Amino acid sequence: MAEAIGLIARFGLAGLINTVIGFAVIALLDPGLGVAPALANAAGYAVGVVAGFLLNRRFVFRSRTGLPAAGRRYLAAAAGAFALNQGVLRLAGMALGDSATRHLIAQGMAMAVYSVALFVLCRLWVFKADANSAAL
């Protein structure tokens, strides 16, 4: 149980760091500079994906999986989670309307979906070989 709590806490901290970085880029580009929401969102996640991989590999999951293999799986997992993110962003954007505040709310909803999906994919697939050291 303590291991599971530690894993979740580390993922939360790494996610917080990654979220701050990604959301700062999104907020600067979308409402700040008027860049299209999907492009601003993509830029935010592109900046965060490298930091996210490094944090998840070493700090969160404490993985010993080879860098190339884990890197490929992480990119695939991040791409899948990002596809979900974009779907939520589009649907929330249509439902909430077109204002800076509503764009940020839609971005936040999309980020939450991305985070949950990425955790599950990392836990069950990307770093699965290391599951015995940080079981849930």
Quick: pLDDT tens for 38-94. 999 899 978 888 889 989 999 999 998 888 999 999 999 999 999 999 999 999 989
| pTM to 2 decimal places | 0.73
Tokens of 21: 């970085």
State the Cα–Cα distance between residues 62 and 7, nearest whole angstrom.
9
Place of tokens 């969102």: 41
Q: Which domain holds residue 31?
A: 2-133
Residue with token string 């939450």? 112
Q: Which is nearest to 37 in space by CA: 128, 113, 114, 108?
A: 108
- Residues 99 and 104: their CA atoms lie apart, in Å, by 9
pLDDT at residue 131 in the model: 46
Domain count, the chain: 1
pLDDT of residue 25 exceeding 70, the answer is: yes
Where residue 87 falls (left for φ over 0; alpha for ψ -120 to 50; beta otherwise) is alpha
Mean pLDDT over 126-132 rounds to 68
Question: Of 49, 1, 44, 40, whose CA–CA distance to 23 is shortest?
Answer: 44
